[in-house]
Protein backbone atom coordinates (compact mmCIF):
# COMPACT_ATOMS: atom_id res chain seq x y z
CA UNK A 1 0.00 0.00 0.00
CA UNK A 2 1.29 3.43 -0.98
CA UNK A 3 0.25 6.96 -0.03
CA UNK A 4 0.63 9.77 -2.56
CA UNK A 5 1.34 13.45 -1.95
CA UNK A 6 1.62 16.17 -4.58
CA UNK A 7 3.17 19.46 -3.55
CA UNK A 8 2.60 22.51 -5.80
CA UNK A 9 2.84 20.55 -9.05
CA UNK A 10 2.87 22.53 -12.31
CA UNK A 11 3.55 21.42 -15.88
CA UNK A 12 4.21 23.86 -18.68
CA UNK A 13 4.54 23.11 -22.41
CA UNK A 14 6.10 26.23 -23.94
CA UNK A 15 3.38 28.84 -23.32
CA UNK A 16 0.70 26.37 -22.20
CA UNK A 17 0.26 25.73 -18.48
CA UNK A 18 -1.33 22.28 -18.50
CA UNK A 19 -1.21 21.76 -14.72
CA UNK A 20 -1.04 24.67 -12.30
CA UNK A 21 0.02 24.48 -8.65
CA UNK A 22 -1.80 21.24 -7.80
CA UNK A 23 -1.45 19.86 -4.27
CA UNK A 24 -3.27 17.00 -2.57
CA UNK A 25 -2.68 13.92 -0.41
CA UNK A 26 -4.18 10.48 -0.98
CA UNK A 27 -4.02 7.77 1.67
CA UNK A 28 -2.82 4.21 1.10
CA UNK A 29 -5.45 2.09 -0.63
CA UNK A 30 -7.69 5.06 -1.42
CA UNK A 31 -9.06 6.04 -4.82
CA UNK A 32 -9.22 9.54 -6.28
CA UNK A 33 -11.54 10.11 -9.23
CA UNK A 34 -10.50 13.09 -11.36
CA UNK A 35 -13.21 14.75 -13.39
CA UNK A 36 -13.25 17.89 -15.49
CA UNK A 37 -13.85 19.10 -19.04
CA UNK A 38 -11.63 18.04 -21.95
CA UNK A 39 -8.26 19.76 -21.76
CA UNK A 40 -8.52 20.27 -17.99
CA UNK A 41 -5.18 18.52 -17.34
CA UNK A 42 -6.37 15.11 -16.13
CA UNK A 43 -4.19 13.02 -18.47
CA UNK A 44 -1.17 15.27 -17.93
CA UNK A 45 -1.47 14.81 -14.17
CA UNK A 46 -1.61 11.01 -14.58
CA UNK A 47 1.46 11.08 -16.83
CA UNK A 48 3.34 13.09 -14.21
CA UNK A 49 2.44 10.53 -11.55
CA UNK A 50 3.50 7.67 -13.84
CA UNK A 51 6.88 9.26 -14.49
CA UNK A 52 6.16 9.66 -18.21
CA UNK A 53 6.55 13.43 -17.80
CA UNK A 54 8.61 15.55 -15.42
CA UNK A 55 6.89 18.41 -13.59
CA UNK A 56 8.06 21.94 -14.37
CA UNK A 57 7.66 22.77 -10.70
CA UNK A 58 6.72 20.91 -7.53
CA UNK A 59 7.33 17.50 -6.04
CA UNK A 60 5.61 14.10 -5.98
CA UNK A 61 6.00 11.73 -3.02
CA UNK A 62 5.10 8.06 -2.64
CA UNK A 63 5.01 7.09 1.05
CA UNK A 64 6.74 10.43 1.72
CA UNK A 65 9.69 9.42 -0.47
CA UNK A 66 10.49 11.82 -3.33
CA UNK A 67 9.75 9.78 -6.48
CA UNK A 68 12.94 10.92 -8.21
CA UNK A 69 14.82 9.04 -5.50
CA UNK A 70 12.92 5.81 -6.19
CA UNK A 71 14.18 3.28 -8.76
CA UNK A 72 11.54 2.41 -11.40
CA UNK A 73 10.84 -1.05 -9.95
CA UNK A 74 10.23 0.37 -6.47
CA UNK A 75 7.68 2.87 -7.78
CA UNK A 76 5.39 -0.04 -8.73
CA UNK A 77 3.06 2.08 -10.86
CA UNK A 78 0.68 0.59 -13.43
CA UNK A 79 -1.22 2.66 -15.99
CA UNK A 80 -4.22 1.83 -18.14
CA UNK A 81 -5.32 3.90 -21.13
CA UNK A 82 -8.62 4.48 -22.94
CA UNK A 83 -7.32 2.55 -25.97
CA UNK A 84 -5.25 -0.57 -25.17
CA UNK A 85 -1.64 -0.18 -26.34
CA UNK A 86 -0.84 -3.77 -27.26
CA UNK A 87 1.78 -5.19 -29.61
CA UNK A 88 -0.45 -6.48 -32.44
CA UNK A 89 1.53 -9.57 -33.50
CA UNK A 90 2.73 -10.64 -30.04
CA UNK A 91 0.95 -13.25 -27.94
CA UNK A 92 -1.10 -11.97 -25.03
CA UNK A 93 1.17 -13.60 -22.44
CA UNK A 94 4.14 -11.63 -23.76
CA UNK A 95 2.11 -8.43 -24.07
CA UNK A 96 1.28 -8.70 -20.37
CA UNK A 97 4.79 -9.58 -19.14
CA UNK A 98 6.80 -7.39 -21.52
CA UNK A 99 9.73 -5.72 -19.75
CA UNK A 100 9.43 -7.63 -16.47
CA UNK A 101 12.88 -9.15 -16.88
CA UNK A 102 14.35 -5.65 -17.09
CA UNK A 103 12.64 -4.83 -13.80
CA UNK A 104 14.41 -7.75 -12.13
CA UNK A 105 11.65 -10.37 -12.11
CA UNK A 106 12.84 -13.93 -12.67
CA UNK A 107 11.17 -16.20 -15.22
CA UNK A 108 9.50 -18.16 -12.42
CA UNK A 109 8.20 -14.99 -10.71
CA UNK A 110 6.90 -13.68 -14.03
CA UNK A 111 5.01 -16.87 -14.82
CA UNK A 112 3.48 -17.03 -11.34
CA UNK A 113 2.30 -13.42 -11.48
CA UNK A 114 0.96 -13.89 -15.02
CA UNK A 115 -1.07 -16.91 -13.93
CA UNK A 116 -2.47 -15.03 -10.93
CA UNK A 117 -3.57 -11.92 -12.80
CA UNK A 118 -4.88 -13.86 -15.80
CA UNK A 119 -7.07 -15.93 -13.49
CA UNK A 120 -8.35 -12.86 -11.66
CA UNK A 121 -9.30 -11.12 -14.89
CA UNK A 122 -10.67 -14.25 -16.60
CA UNK A 123 -8.25 -14.19 -19.53
CA UNK A 124 -6.25 -17.39 -18.87
CA UNK A 125 -7.70 -18.96 -22.03
CA UNK A 126 -6.54 -16.00 -24.15
CA UNK A 127 -2.82 -16.03 -23.32
CA UNK A 128 -1.69 -17.74 -26.52
CA UNK A 129 -3.79 -15.57 -28.83
CA UNK A 130 -2.79 -12.27 -30.41
CA UNK A 131 -4.65 -8.94 -29.86
CA UNK A 132 -6.34 -9.01 -33.29
CA UNK A 133 -8.26 -12.13 -32.19
CA UNK A 134 -9.74 -10.40 -29.14
CA UNK A 135 -12.84 -8.29 -28.62
CA UNK A 136 -12.62 -4.73 -27.27
CA UNK A 137 -13.53 -5.87 -23.77
CA UNK A 138 -10.93 -8.67 -23.85
CA UNK A 139 -8.23 -6.23 -24.99
CA UNK A 140 -9.09 -3.95 -22.10
CA UNK A 141 -8.77 -6.88 -19.68
CA UNK A 142 -5.31 -7.58 -21.13
CA UNK A 143 -4.38 -3.93 -20.66
CA UNK A 144 -5.51 -4.17 -17.05
CA UNK A 145 -3.51 -7.38 -16.53
CA UNK A 146 -0.40 -5.65 -17.84
CA UNK A 147 -0.98 -2.76 -15.43
CA UNK A 148 -1.37 -5.12 -12.45
CA UNK A 149 1.17 -7.89 -13.07
CA UNK A 150 4.22 -6.02 -11.71
CA UNK A 151 3.21 -5.96 -8.01
CA UNK A 152 1.42 -2.70 -8.70
CA UNK A 153 0.84 -0.48 -5.69
CA UNK A 154 -0.29 2.64 -7.57
CA UNK A 155 -2.78 2.23 -10.42
CA UNK A 156 -3.52 5.06 -12.84
CA UNK A 157 -6.56 4.76 -15.11
CA UNK A 158 -7.03 7.20 -18.00
CA UNK A 159 -10.69 6.80 -19.05
CA UNK A 160 -10.28 3.05 -19.66
CA UNK A 161 -14.01 2.32 -19.91
CA UNK A 162 -15.00 5.07 -22.36
CA UNK A 163 -15.10 2.80 -25.44
CA UNK A 164 -16.92 -0.16 -23.85
CA UNK A 165 -20.62 -0.95 -24.02
CA UNK A 166 -22.62 -0.59 -20.81
CA UNK A 167 -22.63 -4.29 -19.84
CA UNK A 168 -18.88 -4.76 -20.32
CA UNK A 169 -18.15 -1.44 -18.67
CA UNK A 170 -20.09 -2.30 -15.51
CA UNK A 171 -18.59 -5.80 -15.37
CA UNK A 172 -15.00 -4.58 -15.67
CA UNK A 173 -15.57 -1.71 -13.24
CA UNK A 174 -16.80 -4.14 -10.60
CA UNK A 175 -13.82 -6.48 -11.09
CA UNK A 176 -11.27 -3.66 -10.96
CA UNK A 177 -12.78 -2.23 -7.79
CA UNK A 178 -12.69 -5.66 -6.16
CA UNK A 179 -9.03 -6.14 -7.10
CA UNK A 180 -8.13 -2.63 -5.94
CA UNK A 181 -9.73 -3.17 -2.52
CA UNK A 182 -8.40 -6.72 -2.17
CA UNK A 183 -4.79 -5.71 -2.93
CA UNK A 184 -4.94 -2.34 -1.18
CA UNK A 185 -3.91 -0.52 -4.36
CA UNK A 186 -3.89 3.28 -4.35
CA UNK A 187 -5.73 4.34 -7.47
CA UNK A 188 -6.32 7.53 -9.46
CA UNK A 189 -8.96 7.46 -12.18
CA UNK A 190 -9.56 10.07 -14.88
CA UNK A 191 -13.12 10.12 -16.18
CA UNK A 192 -15.89 12.26 -17.71
CA UNK A 193 -18.53 10.02 -16.10
CA UNK A 194 -19.77 11.30 -12.74
CA UNK A 195 -21.45 8.01 -11.84
CA UNK A 196 -18.17 6.21 -12.50
CA UNK A 197 -16.35 8.78 -10.36
CA UNK A 198 -18.74 8.18 -7.47
CA UNK A 199 -18.54 4.38 -7.88
CA UNK A 200 -14.75 4.33 -7.56
CA UNK A 201 -13.78 7.50 -5.75
CA UNK A 202 -13.14 7.81 -2.04
CA UNK A 203 -12.31 11.36 -3.09
CA UNK A 204 -13.45 13.43 -6.07
CA UNK A 205 -11.09 15.97 -7.64
CA UNK A 206 -12.32 18.54 -10.16
CA UNK A 207 -9.80 20.03 -12.59
CA UNK A 208 -10.31 23.05 -14.81
CA UNK A 209 -7.58 24.62 -16.97
CA UNK A 210 -4.98 22.71 -14.97
CA UNK A 211 -6.16 23.96 -11.58
CA UNK A 212 -7.63 21.74 -8.86
CA UNK A 213 -10.98 23.41 -8.21
CA UNK A 214 -12.18 20.90 -5.61
CA UNK A 215 -10.91 17.88 -3.67
CA UNK A 216 -13.71 16.47 -1.52
CA UNK A 217 -15.72 13.43 -0.56
CA UNK A 218 -18.55 12.94 -3.07
CA UNK A 219 -21.38 13.84 -0.67
CA UNK A 220 -19.53 16.93 0.58
CA UNK A 221 -18.92 18.03 -2.99
CA UNK A 222 -22.61 17.61 -3.80
CA UNK A 223 -23.98 19.32 -0.69
CA UNK A 224 -21.25 21.88 0.10
CA UNK A 225 -19.14 22.76 -2.97
CA UNK A 226 -16.58 25.49 -2.36
CA UNK A 227 -17.08 27.40 -5.62
CA UNK A 228 -19.48 27.86 -8.53
CA UNK A 229 -17.41 25.78 -10.96
CA UNK A 230 -17.43 22.72 -8.68
CA UNK A 231 -21.12 23.22 -7.89
CA UNK A 232 -22.09 23.48 -11.55
CA UNK A 233 -19.85 20.67 -12.80
CA UNK A 234 -20.68 18.00 -10.21
CA UNK A 235 -24.17 16.64 -9.79
CA UNK A 236 -26.97 15.65 -12.16
CA UNK A 237 -29.20 17.44 -12.86
CA UNK A 238 -27.02 20.52 -12.61
CA UNK A 239 -27.45 23.05 -9.83
CA UNK A 240 -29.66 26.07 -10.48
CA UNK A 241 -28.01 29.47 -10.09
CA UNK A 242 -30.20 32.49 -9.42
CA UNK A 243 -29.24 36.13 -8.87
CA UNK A 244 -30.12 37.41 -5.42
CA UNK A 245 -29.45 40.29 -3.08
CA UNK A 246 -28.89 40.29 0.67
CA UNK A 247 -30.05 43.52 2.34
CA UNK A 248 -31.78 44.96 5.39
CA UNK A 249 -35.59 45.18 5.29
CA UNK A 250 -37.27 46.86 8.28
CA UNK A 251 -34.22 46.28 10.40
CA UNK A 252 -33.96 42.58 9.56
CA UNK A 253 -31.73 40.66 7.17
CA UNK A 254 -33.53 39.40 4.05
CA UNK A 255 -32.76 37.75 0.74
CA UNK A 256 -34.33 39.19 -2.38
CA UNK A 257 -34.89 36.16 -4.62
CA UNK A 258 -37.25 35.52 -7.53
CA UNK A 259 -39.35 38.56 -6.68
CA UNK A 260 -39.76 37.64 -3.01
CA UNK A 261 -38.24 38.95 0.23
CA UNK A 262 -37.11 35.93 2.26
CA UNK A 263 -36.13 36.45 5.93
CA UNK A 264 -32.67 35.12 6.82
CA UNK A 265 -32.15 33.73 10.31
CA UNK A 266 -28.40 33.81 9.74
CA UNK A 267 -26.90 36.77 7.96
CA UNK A 268 -24.41 37.98 5.40
CA UNK A 269 -23.05 41.44 4.72
CA UNK A 270 -25.35 43.34 2.37
CA UNK A 271 -24.33 42.36 -1.15
CA UNK A 272 -25.39 40.86 -4.44
CA UNK A 273 -25.06 37.08 -4.42
CA UNK A 274 -25.48 34.06 -6.65
CA UNK A 275 -27.78 31.53 -5.00
CA UNK A 276 -27.28 27.84 -5.79
CA UNK A 277 -30.22 25.42 -5.48
CA UNK A 278 -30.16 21.73 -6.42
CA UNK A 279 -33.26 20.66 -8.42
CA UNK A 280 -34.17 18.05 -5.78
CA UNK A 281 -34.47 20.80 -3.15
CA UNK A 282 -37.32 22.48 -5.04
CA UNK A 283 -40.74 20.89 -4.56
CA UNK A 284 -43.98 21.50 -6.43
CA UNK A 285 -46.81 22.43 -4.05
CA UNK A 286 -50.39 23.61 -4.77
CA UNK A 287 -49.90 26.66 -2.50
CA UNK A 288 -46.15 27.08 -2.94
CA UNK A 289 -44.50 30.45 -2.28
CA UNK A 290 -43.14 30.77 -5.82
CA UNK A 291 -44.84 30.33 -9.17
CA UNK A 292 -43.74 29.86 -12.76
CA UNK A 293 -44.62 28.40 -16.13
CA UNK A 294 -43.27 25.08 -17.45
CA UNK A 295 -41.30 25.75 -20.63
CA UNK A 296 -39.63 22.37 -21.22
CA UNK A 297 -39.91 18.77 -20.02
CA UNK A 298 -37.20 16.12 -20.08
CA UNK A 299 -37.55 12.49 -19.03
CA UNK A 300 -34.74 11.24 -16.76
CA UNK A 301 -35.31 7.54 -16.02
CA UNK A 302 -38.58 7.41 -14.05
CA UNK A 303 -38.41 11.12 -13.19
CA UNK A 304 -39.42 14.26 -15.03
CA UNK A 305 -37.04 17.20 -15.23
CA UNK A 306 -39.02 20.42 -15.66
CA UNK A 307 -37.61 23.76 -16.78
CA UNK A 308 -39.77 26.41 -15.16
CA UNK A 309 -39.62 30.13 -15.93
CA UNK A 310 -39.99 32.29 -12.82
CA UNK A 311 -39.27 36.04 -12.75
CA UNK A 312 -37.12 35.78 -15.91
CA UNK A 313 -35.05 32.96 -14.36
CA UNK A 314 -35.15 29.40 -15.71
CA UNK A 315 -35.15 26.78 -12.95
CA UNK A 316 -34.75 23.02 -13.27
CA UNK A 317 -37.01 21.00 -10.96
CA UNK A 318 -37.22 17.22 -10.82
CA UNK A 319 -40.44 15.47 -9.80
CA UNK A 320 -42.54 12.34 -10.30
CA UNK A 321 -45.79 14.12 -11.19
CA UNK A 322 -46.64 14.47 -14.91
CA UNK A 323 -47.40 18.04 -16.02
CA UNK A 324 -47.68 19.91 -19.30
CA UNK A 325 -45.71 22.59 -21.10
CA UNK A 326 -47.33 25.97 -20.52
CA UNK A 327 -48.85 24.91 -17.19
CA UNK A 328 -48.72 27.39 -14.29
CA UNK A 329 -47.13 25.69 -11.29
CA UNK A 330 -46.38 26.63 -7.68
CA UNK A 331 -43.36 25.47 -5.74
CA UNK A 332 -41.33 25.87 -2.54
CA UNK A 333 -37.56 26.00 -2.10
CA UNK A 334 -35.82 24.23 0.80
CA UNK A 335 -34.06 27.27 2.30
CA UNK A 336 -31.75 25.10 4.42
CA UNK A 337 -30.10 23.80 1.25
CA UNK A 338 -29.58 27.10 -0.54
CA UNK A 339 -25.91 27.91 -1.16
CA UNK A 340 -24.49 31.41 -1.51
CA UNK A 341 -21.62 32.48 -3.76
CA UNK A 342 -20.00 35.86 -4.25
CA UNK A 343 -19.50 37.52 -7.63
CA UNK A 344 -16.10 35.83 -7.97
CA UNK A 345 -17.78 32.44 -7.72
CA UNK A 346 -16.47 31.63 -4.23
CA UNK A 347 -18.69 30.15 -1.51
CA UNK A 348 -20.03 32.44 1.21
CA UNK A 349 -21.01 30.92 4.54
CA UNK A 350 -23.97 32.28 6.50
CA UNK A 351 -23.08 33.48 9.96
pLDDT digits over 204-263, tens only?
A: 999 999 999 999 999 999 999 999 999 999 998 899 999 999 998 888 889 999 999 998
Query: Within this chain, do residues 226 and 107 fall inside the same structural domain, yes or no?
Result: yes
59 and 172 co-located in one domain: yes
CATH of the domain at 157: 3.40.50.300
Q: Are residues 290 and 342 in the same domain?
A: yes
- Provide the CATH number for the domain around residue 273: 2.40.50.140
Angle between helical axes of 166-183 and 136-148 (0-180°, round to 10) = 10
Shared domain for 56 and 150, answered yes or no, is yes
Which domain covers residue 248, as residue numbers?
Answer: 240-348
Residues 73 and 160 in one domain: yes
Q: What is the pLDDT of residues 321-333, one digit of tens each?
A: 889 999 999 999 9
- Do 179 and 300 lie in one domain? The reply is no
Q: Kindly state whether residues 28 and 102 are assigned to the same domain.
A: yes
Task: Judge if 219 and 251 occupy the same domain.
Answer: no
Q: Among the three residues 181, 215, 233, which one is the final residue of a domain in this structure?
A: 233
Dihedral over Cα of 211, 80, 105, 174: its sign: positive
Domain boundary pick from 233, 256, 274:
233
18 and 142 fall within a common domain: yes
10, 127: one domain: yes
CA dist 351 and 332 (Å) reads 23
Domain count, the chain: 2
pLDDT tens string 288-331 = 999 999 999 998 777 899 999 999 999 999 998 889 999 999 99
CA geometry: angle at 129 spanning 125 and 130, to 5°?
A: 145
DSSP letter string, 11-29: EEETTEEEEEEEEEEE-TT
Q: Point out the domain boundary residue: 213, 233, 253.
A: 233
Asked if 159 and 201 sit in the same domain, the reply is: yes
17, 139: one domain: yes
Of the pLDDT bands very low, low, confident and very high (cuts 50, 70, 90), residue 133 is: very high
Amino acid sequence: MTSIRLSNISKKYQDILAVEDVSFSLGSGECLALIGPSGAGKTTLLRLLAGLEEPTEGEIYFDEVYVKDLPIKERQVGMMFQTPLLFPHVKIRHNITYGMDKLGFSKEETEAKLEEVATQLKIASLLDRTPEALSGGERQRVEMARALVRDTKVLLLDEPFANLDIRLKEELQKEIKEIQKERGITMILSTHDQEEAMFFGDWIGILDHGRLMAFERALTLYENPSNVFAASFFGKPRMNFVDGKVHIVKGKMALELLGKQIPLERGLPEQEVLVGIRPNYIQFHPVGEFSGVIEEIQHVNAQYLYRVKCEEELLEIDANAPMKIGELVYFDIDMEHMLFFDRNGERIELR
